[in-house]
Amino acid sequence: MKDERPVPTTLNHPFHGLMAFQLRQASVLVAADLGERLADLSLTMTNLTVLLMIQSNPGVTQTELGKVLGIQRANLAPLTATFAARGLIKRNRIDGRSYGLSLTSGGADLAARAWEHVRANEMLLPHRLSAVERAAIVDLLQSLRPEPPGHLQGSPL
């Protein structure tokens, strides 16, 4: 026997009013968009973060990056080795065991192209919000995070 109940046009969503759920949904949407944008640059979200951190902090060491970003040394070393092999970063010896990382001209070019994608992605959700509302949301979200071991300072895009 065929079910002839009308198909509802809207459904009650049990998580609709939950902040964490809404944050997750927005995050999934934005991350998927940025992931697609970065694919043509052969960058992942983690690669992007490391590349732009090196750009913003010339001479930073892998140890400093790992502490601030919460990336284990065993995971960060192959990533920076890949960047070096691609000619994106150079390593300058600081002491017997440490190297300061900085972008090559190729790395700077890639970072500039990546920033274009980041800026376009950044506008994915906020087109419905005023500049004041966007700033308030950023401030509120930052207040939810514990401060990482190495303090991060930010600047607007």
Integer CA distances (angstroms), 49 to 10, 32, 45, 61, in order: 39, 15, 6, 15
CB 58 within 8 A of CB 103: yes
Report, as an integer, the average pLDDT of 99-122: 95
Total-model pTM: 0.75
Q: pLDDT tens for residues 121-132?
A: 988 776 778 889
